[in-house]
Structure 1
C-alpha cells in the first residue's frame, strides 16, 4: 500500500502536484476508485430496493453528514441543532460512530461537543442502532441527532442534512481514493437539506456555480449557506479571551482536522499576525513528544501565543506550551441564507414530538 502523508496526498489528488510521481499515483488510484464507487452504488441500490433493511425508531432522527472525507463543519451545525431542540425543551441525544477514538475513549468531536453542550448526552458506537436503543430505552430521549451519518443507512431518519464545503465541494471530482468523495455525487439525492458551509470564504459566483451543479440532483431540497463565525478564544482551564486579544502579537497556529485550509483562512480574516502554521493529520492523537515538538517550534519562531481548534485543545489539555499561552478558537454556525427553510423543517419534527407521549412521563407513571 502506498505510504503518503495526508498533505502530500491532498496535493496529488487536487492536481497541485504535477510531478511524474504524482501523475503515476493518480493513475494507480483510478482502478481503486472505480471499485469503491461501484461498491457504494450497489450498497445504495440494495437499500433503495429494500434488500438491505432500515430500522425506523419510534422517535424522530435527524442526520448530519457530508459526501466528502474530511471536515465540512458538521460539529458546529450539530451543536446548533442540539441547542435549537434544547431551547424547545426536547431531550436530545447525539450519536456518532466514534471515528479516531482510542479504545474505551471518545474522539475529539465528542469531547468538543461535551464542552459546548453539557446537557446533551453523546453516545459513540460503531453500531449506531445499538446506541439509539440505549438512548431511547435508558435516556428517554425524544430526538436523536446522528453525527456524520449520511452514508449510514441502517437507521431511518426524518431529516437528512448534507453539508458541502465551499472550499472543496466535490472532493476534487473523484471518489476515494482518487478523490475525497465518499460515494458518487448522485448520492446527494437522498438529502432534504443541503448546507453550503464556509460560504463566506468564496465569492458569490462560486457559490452560485456550486448550487447550480447540485440543484438538478436535489431539486426539492432546501438550500442554506452558512459561515463559521469565530466567537471567542478559550483555554483548557476554562479561561476566555476576546478575539482582539491576540491581535498585534506574533501568533502561531496548528491543527489536526479534516480541512486545515478553512481554519487558516478564518485566522487570516481575524487579521492575526500568523508567523507559522503547522498541520497534523485529521483526528491526530497528540503525544507527549508532539507537545515537546510544538513547544520547541514555538520557541524557535518566537511566537507570543499559539492557537488551535477546540478539537485539538480537548486532546492536548494544556493551557500553555512551555511559556507560550495556548488558545482554541471557538466557532459557531451563522446563517447567510436558508435559516427559515430549515426552521420550517425542524418545526415539522417538533410537531411529531409533541404528538407523541413523553417517554419519561410514561416511565414515571408506569
Structure 2
C-alpha cells in the first residue's frame, strides 16, 4: 500500500514540504557530528554498523545473524547492539537472556539471540547498549543491528543492505518516499549488500535461503512444500518477500495476510485466522512473539542469508582487519 503511494500517487507531492524538512534535518544532524559540533562516543573495541538507507524490510537482521555466526566460527566473541524497536521495558539498557520477552526488547534482538546465542545489548541510545555488553562480558567486536543514522556512536565499518528488487523507490526522503538518507550516502560506506535482484557494480550480492518449516508447538520440522491448506502471515517490513518465497518453494497459500512491521499479536486474534484443518505459516520474526502461546497448527519458515564465498571472504577479511590480532579466514 505505502509503496504504491510512493510510486504512483499524485498525493505524495503534498508531502514535499515535510520531505524537505526531514531531509534537511537529517543532513544537518550528520554534518554536526562530522564537524565535531556534537559529541561522538567511541567504544574501546571495533564497531560494525549494519543499516539501511530506506525504511525496513531489506534483510538487515538476517545479515547481522550471518555476520555473527561467521565471526563466531572464526573464534571471535561477538556482541550485538540493538535499539530494541517496539520494546517497552521499564528501564534500559538490557542484556537479552533466555527469559527476556519481545515486550521488553522487541522481536529482532530476541531473534538474533535465539539464532546465535551472542551477547545482545538493547537500548534506544546505542552507546548504552554497547556499554552494557562490555560490562557484561568480554567481546572482541560489536555489531549493531540498524543504527546507520545514529551518529553519536563512532563506527569502524558501515554496511548498508539494499533491497535488490525495490532499490530506493522514488528516491525521496520520508514521508514523500522511503529514504532515510539519499543514495549519495553510499559513497561513504564500507560495503553495500544487495539482497535479491541484481547487484550493481561495487555491490555484494546476497539472497535469503529458506530452511525447513518448524512447528511452533512441537518443534517438528518438514519441507515447507509438504504443508497443506496454508494461511500465510507476515508482520515484517516487506511481507511480499515472504509470500514470494513461499510461491518459489511450491507453497500456494489459501490466503496471505500482511501486518505492519513489529506487529504485536495475541492468541485470540491469530486463532481467528485459520479454520479446522488449516495451517498458519509465519516468518521466524513473527514466531518469536507468539511462541509462548503457540497452537499445534502454527508453523514458521526460517531463512538464512547467503553470500557468494569469495565476496563473503572479502567482507570478513575487512572486518577482521580491525582486530589487533590475526584471525584465520576460511
- Interval of TM-score (by shorter of Structure 1 and Structure 2): 0.7 to 0.9
Supply the distance in 2 between the matched residues of 1:88 and 1:134 (Cα, whole angstroms).
24
Deviation at residue 128 of structure 1 after TM alignment? 1.0
Deviation at residue 237 of structure 1 after TM alignment? 4.0
Query: Is the Cα contact below 8 Å between 1:235 and 1:319 reproduced in 2?
Result: no
Supply the distance in 2 between the matched residues of 1:229 and 1:289 (Cα, whole angstroms).
31
Query: Is the Cα contact below 8 Å between 1:233 and 1:327 reproduced in 2?
Result: yes
Task: Select which of 329, 343, 351 maps to 2:301.
Answer: 329
Residue in 2 aligned with 1:243?
223
State the secondary structure of the residue aligned to 2:41.
Answer: coil
State the secondary structure of the residue aligned to 2:299.
Answer: strand
Deviation at residue 152 of structure 1 after TM alignment? 1.1
Q: CA separation of 1:335/1:94 partners in 2, compared to 1, >3 Å: closer, same or farther?
A: same
Supply the distance in 2 between the matched residues of 1:91 and 1:258 (Cα, whole angstroms).
30
Deviation at residue 50 of structure 1 after TM alignment? 2.0
What is the TM-score when the length of structure 2 is the normalising length? 0.88
For the pair shown, which has the larger CA radius of gyration, 1 or 2?
Answer: 1
Supply the distance in 2 between the matched residues of 1:256 and 1:55 (Cα, whole angstroms).
34
Q: CA separation of 1:45/1:65 partners in 2, compared to 1, >3 Å: closer, same or farther?
A: same
Supply the distance in 2 between the matched residues of 1:288 and 1:234 (Cα, whole angstroms).
19
Supply the distance in 2 between the matched residues of 1:31 and 1:308 (Cα, whole angstroms).
38
Deviation at residue 224 of structure 1 after TM alignment? 0.9
Residue in 2 aligned with 1:277?
256
Supply the distance in 2 between the matched residues of 1:238 and 1:59 (Cα, whole angstroms).
41
Residue in 2 aligned with 1:83?
69
Supply the distance in 1 between the matched residues of 2:246 and 2:225 (Cα, whole angstroms).
13
Supply the distance in 1 between the matched residues of 2:218 and 2:16 (Cα, whole angstroms).
47
Which is richer in helix? Answer: 1
Q: CA separation of 1:303/1:282 partners in 2, compared to 1, >3 Å: closer, same or farther?
A: farther
State the aligned residue count: 313
Task: Select which of 77, 83, 86 maps to 1:97.
Answer: 83
Q: CA separation of 1:48/1:251 partners in 2, compared to 1, >3 Å: closer, same or farther?
A: same
Summarize the alignment of residues 342-353 of structure 1 with structure 2, pairs less than 5 Å apart. Answer: 342-349=315-322, 351-353=323-325
Deviation at residue 137 of structure 1 after TM alignment? 2.9
Task: Select which of 28, 42, 45 maps to 1:56.
Answer: 42
Deviation at residue 27 of structure 1 after TM alignment? 2.2
Residue in 2 aligned with 1:72?
58
Residue in 2 aligned with 1:305?
279
What is the TM-score when the length of structure 1 is the normalising length? 0.80
Query: Is the Cα contact below 8 Å between 1:233 and 1:330 reproduced in 2?
Result: yes
Query: Is the Cα contact below 8 Å between 1:111 and 1:314 reproduced in 2?
Result: yes
Residue in 2 aligned with 1:264?
243
Deviation at residue 159 of structure 1 after TM alignment? 1.2
